[in-house]
Amino acid sequence: EKLLSLYNREEKILSIPALGDPRVRGGSGIYLDLHENDINLKQWALVQKVSHTFEGPKHTMDMELKIQ
Describe the chain by its helix, strand, coil percentages, rounded to 5.
Answer: 10, 65, 30
pLDDT digits (tens, 9 = 90+) for 7-62: 777 788 989 999 999 999 999 999 999 888 887 889 999 999 999 999 999 999 99
pTM over 0.85: no
Where are the chain's structural domains?
Answer: 11-67
Residue-wise DSSP of 17-40: EEE--TT--TT-EEEEEEEETTEE
Could you tell me if 14 and 24 are in contact, meaning their C-beta atoms sit under 8 angstroms apart?
Answer: no
